[in-house]
Amino acid sequence: MTSCRIRLTFHGRVQGVGFRPYVWRTVRAYPLTGFVRNTGAGVDVELQGDPQQLRACRRALTLHLPPLARVDGLDETRLPLIETETQFEIADSQGKARGARIPTDIATCPNCLDELFDGSDRRYRYAFTNCTDCGPRYTITHSLPYDRAETSMSAFDLCPACREEYEDPASRRFHAEPNACPQCGPRLMLTDRFGELLKGDPIAGALQILEISRSVAMKGLGGFHLVCDATRADAVERLRGQKKRQQKPLAVMVLNVESARRLCHVSDAEAEALASVSRPIVLLDKKEGIDALLPGVAPGLSTLGVMLPYTPMQWLLFHEALGRPQGSVWRDEASDRVWVMTSANPSGEPIVTNNQEARERLNQVADVFLLHNRNIVVRCDDSVLALHEGQTLMHRRARGYAPDPVLLQGDGPNVLATGVPAKNTLTVLRGREAFVSQHVGDVGDPLSCQAMEEVCHHLLELTAVRPQAVACDLDPSHYPSELAEELSGHFGVPLIHVQHQHAHIGAVLAEHGRSGPVLGLALDAVGLGDDGKAWGGELLRCAGGEFTRLGQLSPLPLIGGARAVREPWLMAVGLLCAMGEDAEARQRFGSHPAWPALAPQLGRPFEGWQTSSLALWTDAIAALAGLCKEQRFDNEAQQKLEEMAEDCAPLAGGWQMADGQLDLSPLVRHLLTLGDDAGAIASLWHATLAAALADWTVQAARQADLGTVAIAGGCCANRRLMRLLLERLTAAGLSVLRPIALPPNDGGLSLGQAWVARERLLASFNASADAADTQLGLYRVDLD
Q: Burial level of 78, CB count in 10 A (0-12/13-18/19+)? A: exposed
Residue 147 and residue 160: Cα distance in Å, rounded?
19
Helix (H) / strand (E) element for 691: namely helix 678-704
3-state secondary structure of 408: coil
Q: Burial level of 753, CB count in 10 A (0-12/13-18/19+)? A: buried
Residue 19 and residue 42: Cα distance in Å, rounded?
10
3-state secondary structure of 489: helix
b/e for 514-536, b at 16 or more Cβ within 10 A? ebbbbbbbbbbbbbbbeeebbbb
Residue 572 and residue 697: Cα distance in Å, rounded?
26
Could you count the other beta carbons within 10 Å of the beta carbon of residue 81? 13
Provide long-range contacts, Cβ within 8 A and 24+ apart, for 50-57: 50/1, 50/2, 50/3, 51/2, 51/3, 51/4, 54/4, 54/6, 56/30, 57/26, 57/27, 57/29, 57/30, 57/32
The most distant pair of C-alpha atoms in the chain lies apart, rounded to whole Å, by 97
Is 14:69 a contact under the CB 8 Å cutoff? yes
| 38 given a catalytic annotation | yes
Residue type, 178: P
3-state secondary structure of 720: helix
Q: Burial level of 84, CB count in 10 A (0-12/13-18/19+)? A: exposed
From residue 492, how far is each of 310, 467, 470 by CA, in Å?
43, 9, 10
> Which of 5, 13, 37, 38 does the annotation list as catalytic?
38
- Secondary structure (DSSP) of 643-676: HH----PPPTT--EEETTEEE-HHHHHHHGGGTT
Is 412:738 a contact under the CB 8 Å cutoff? no
> Which of 5, 20, 37, 399 does the annotation list as catalytic?
20
Helix (H) / strand (E) element for 584: namely helix 582-589
Residue type, 665: S
Helix (H) / strand (E) element for 269: namely helix 268-274
Which residues, including other chains, have CB under 8 Å from residue 708's CB and lie 6 or more apart? 514, 518, 519, 734, 735, 736, 737
Residue 299 and residue 245: Cα distance in Å, rounded?
13
Give the total residue count for the chain. 784
From residue 550, how far is each of 473, 660, 661 by CA, in Å?
21, 6, 9
3-state secondary structure of 615: helix
Residue 16 and residue 68: Cα distance in Å, rounded?
9
For helices 568-578 and 614-624, the axis angle rounded to 10 degrees is 90
Task: DSSP letter for 311, please.
Answer: S
Is 57:30 a contact under the CB 8 Å cutoff? yes
CA-based nearest residue to 230, from 298, 331, 164, 165: 298
Task: Provide the annotated active-site residues.
Answer: 20, 38
